Structure formats: C-alpha cells, structure tokens
Amino acid sequence: MSYECLEVAKEPPIATVTLNRPKQLNALGLALAKEIAEAMEALDIDPEVRAIVLTGGEKVFAAGADIKEMAEATPFDERVRTRMVFRDRLNRISKPIIAAVSGYALGAGCEMAMSCDIIVASETARFGQPEVNLGIIPGSGGTQRLARAVGKYRAMEIVLTGEFLNASEAHRLGLVNKIVPVELLLEEAKGLAKKIAAKPPLAIKLAKEAILKSFNTPLDEGIDFERKCFYLLLASEDKQEGMRAFLEKRRAEFKGK
Ligand code: DAK
C-alpha cells in the first residue's frame, strides 16, 4: 500500500511508520489520521511484523490536530467524528507500538504518543497539551492518559497551563522510557522493537492486552483477566518451545502459535 502523508518501511520482524507532512508539522488532519489507522491495521495483521515503531521527523513528531481543519468545526461535523473513529482504531492495534519522539509532540500528537506502548524520546522532544490556548481541551484521551501517566497534579499543571515539557522533565515524570541523542533515536526505538519482536508473539499480545486492561478494570477483574490469558498461553506451542528450549539450553524458535 502507498500513502500520501506516511512512509511505511518493513524490516521484518519490525516495521516503521513515519509521519510525513513536514510543512504542516505533521498536523493530524483527517487524511493523515485515516492513513495512520490503515497502515497500523495492515501491519497488525501482517504475519511478518511483530512490533511497530511510530515516528515523525527530527523537528516534530506531530503538532496536534490540524487547526485549519478544525477552525470551523461544530460538534455535528461528520469529519470531526470520522477523525475520532480513525483515532480509536489506533488504540485497538494488538502489536506493541514504540513511539520515537523528536521535537514537538503536542495536543493530539502527544495523545498519539501516549497511545503507544513505549515512548523513546530524543533530547529535543517537547511534550504538551496546549489545547486550552485554543479554547478546547485534549479530546483524544489526553486528560485521562496523562493523569494516569504522571499523576493528577502534574497533569493539571500541564493541561491547565498548556506549557510544554522538555525531554528530561517528561522522563522524570514517567512519560518517557528513555532519552537518546536525536541521531540515535530511530536506532534505539528499532532496537527495542527488535528485542520485543524476538519474544513469543502470543505472549507479547496478551501481556499488552492485560496491562492495558489494568487502566479500565478493578484489580480483582484485572487479575482474573490476567489469569485467563496465562492459562491460554499454557496451551500455545510457543510455551512448549520456550520451556523446552530453556531446559535444553538452546535458543527458542517462536512461531506465534
Ligand atoms: N495544525 C495546522 N497547522 C499547523 C499546526 C497544527 N496543529 N501546527 C503548526 N502548523 C503550521 C503553521 O500554521 C505553519 O504553517 P504556515 O504558516 O507555514 O502555512 C507551519 O505549520 C509551521 O508552524 P510555525 O510557524 O508555528 O512553527 P514554529 O516552529 O514557530 O512553532 C509550534 C512550532 C509547534 C510550537 C507551533 O506551530 C504551534 O504551537 N502549533 C500548534 C500546536 C497546538 O496547539 N497543538 C494542539 C492542536 S489542537 C478531537 C479530539 C482531539 C483533538 C481534536 C478533535 N475530537 C474529539 C473531535 C485534538 C486537538 C489538538 O491537537
């Protein structure tokens, strides 16, 4: 598949999706949101791909929703709703996604990074939810995910002031897994993706699902869900292979079965 505002590079077992709308600072307009959803879903069902890196350019990851598109939007605007449908599709991707963030990750761009599973940042990364400056609030899960990631008080400060965090502040708050020099960003993110891609895919998929479940369920229900996933994995070929390989002191060959 080819895309207008995206580049998709497959290097099995990983793939890299790069936002490519530099003149608009990768503003997440309807067309780009649609392409992200389509590319991610295609990779999610691609048997050669086990982990995905999502990145932007050196200067900008994504500067948020496209303000030009939104300027005249009303709550009844079909395009606004459609955009959110594309956005929700990203949250349903079952393979691990690593965000590699350099430069600005603002508004819906910050929210998109927070929808990923791991965030690697360059030293120049800037995170923020400046929506209040436009008379709106974060609308793609930012108030919820940010509060869960950094706690109530810091989330309040970030959202209510609209001020940006630099990479080390974001790292200190737990929003970022690792900071690297900009020239090493992709190498680091891809290395992490490859490390995860070498693990048994079913276990990775269910581990991701179970961790995400923890944000939506009481502890008892979450533990119940985890246990069911655990039992399910006992029936997988990869579990047999992983445990046998350990006992036979050899490298396991995982097949995702
Ligand atoms: N949208 C459209 N164009 C943008 C843009 C954006 N978000 N950000 C930048 N641009 C454009 C600028 O207009 C400019 O275009 P030209 O004038 O060259 O034509 C070009 O990109 C370069 O930008 P600047 O000249 O401003 O570049 P600087 O380096 O000086 O500043 C900046 C970079 C990132 C600090 C600045 O551009 C900036 O503050 N950008 C806006 C950031 C922002 O406010 N982001 C939040 C957007 S609101 C929804 C749910 C969620 C959302 C929407 C709907 N529903 C539930 C329906 C999400 C909303 C948002 O994300």
**For residue range 185-241, what is the model confidence (pLDDT) as tens digits?**
999 999 999 999 999 999 999 999 999 999 999 999 999 999 999 999 999 999 999
How many Å lie between the centroid of ligand 1 and the Cα of residue 24? 7
Helix %, strand %, coil % of the chain (to 5): 50, 15, 30
pLDDT for res 57: 93
Which pLDDT band holds residue 120 (cuts at 50, 70, 90)?
very high
pLDDT for res 84: 87
How many Å lie between the centroid of ligand 1 and the Cα of residue 236? 47
Asked if the domains 6-197 and 201-247 are classified in one and the same CATH topology, the answer is no
> Going by DSSP bridges, is the β-strand pair 6-11/97-101 parallel, antiparallel, or unpaired?
unpaired
pLDDT for res 79: 85
pLDDT for res 78: 87
**For residue range 47-103, what is the model confidence (pLDDT) as tens digits?**
999 999 999 999 999 999 999 999 988 988 888 888 888 989 999 999 999 999 999
Q: Give, using CA atoms, the residue closest to atom 49 of ligand 1.
A: 139
How many Å lie between the centroid of ligand 1 and the Cα of residue 108? 10
User: 48 exposed, middle or buried (CB, 10 Å; 0-12, 13-18, 19+)?
Assistant: exposed
How many Å lie between the centroid of ligand 1 and the Cα of residue 30? 14
Joined together, the tokens standing for residue 99 give 């965000």
256 Rama class: left (phi>0) / alpha (psi -120 to 50) / beta: left
pLDDT of 242 above 90: yes
Ligand 1 contacts (CB < 6 A) are 24-25, 27, 63-68, 70, 80, 83-84, 104, 106-108, 130-131, 134, 139-140
**For residue range 2-49, what is the model confidence (pLDDT) as tens digits?**
899 999 999 999 999 999 999 999 999 999 999 999 999 999 999 999
Q: Give, using CA atoms, the residue closest to atom 21 of ligand 1.
A: 24
Q: Give, using CA atoms, the residue closest to atom 10 of ligand 1.
A: 24
Which pLDDT band holds residue 119 (cuts at 50, 70, 90)?
very high
Atom number in ligand 1 closest to CA 138: 51
b or e along 127-141 (b: 16 or more beta carbons within 10 Å of the residue's beta carbon)? bbbbbeeeeeebbbb
Residue of 21, 23, 25 best suited for mutating to test ligand 1, as the one with most atoms within 8 Å of CB: 25
Atom number in ligand 1 closest to CA 107: 61
Question: Domain extents for the chain?
Answer: 6-197, 201-247
Residue of 24, 70, 158 best suited for mutating to test ligand 1, as the one with most atoms within 8 Å of CB: 24
How many Å lie between the centroid of ligand 1 and the Cα of residue 130? 10
How many Å lie between the centroid of ligand 1 and the Cα of residue 125? 16
pLDDT for res 81: 86
Right CATH for 6-197 from 3.90.226.10, 3.30.230.10, 3.40.50.300, 3.40.50.2300: 3.90.226.10
Which pLDDT band holds residue 157 (cuts at 50, 70, 90)?
very high
Q: Considering only the top CATH level, what class is 201-247? A: mainly alpha
pTM score, whole prediction: 0.96
Distances (CA, A) of 36 to 83, 119, 220, 255: 11, 17, 35, 27
Joined together, the tokens standing for residue 76 give 């009844």
How many Å lie between the centroid of ligand 1 and the Cα of residue 227? 44
Is omega for the bond preceding 201 within 30 degrees of 0, making it cis? no
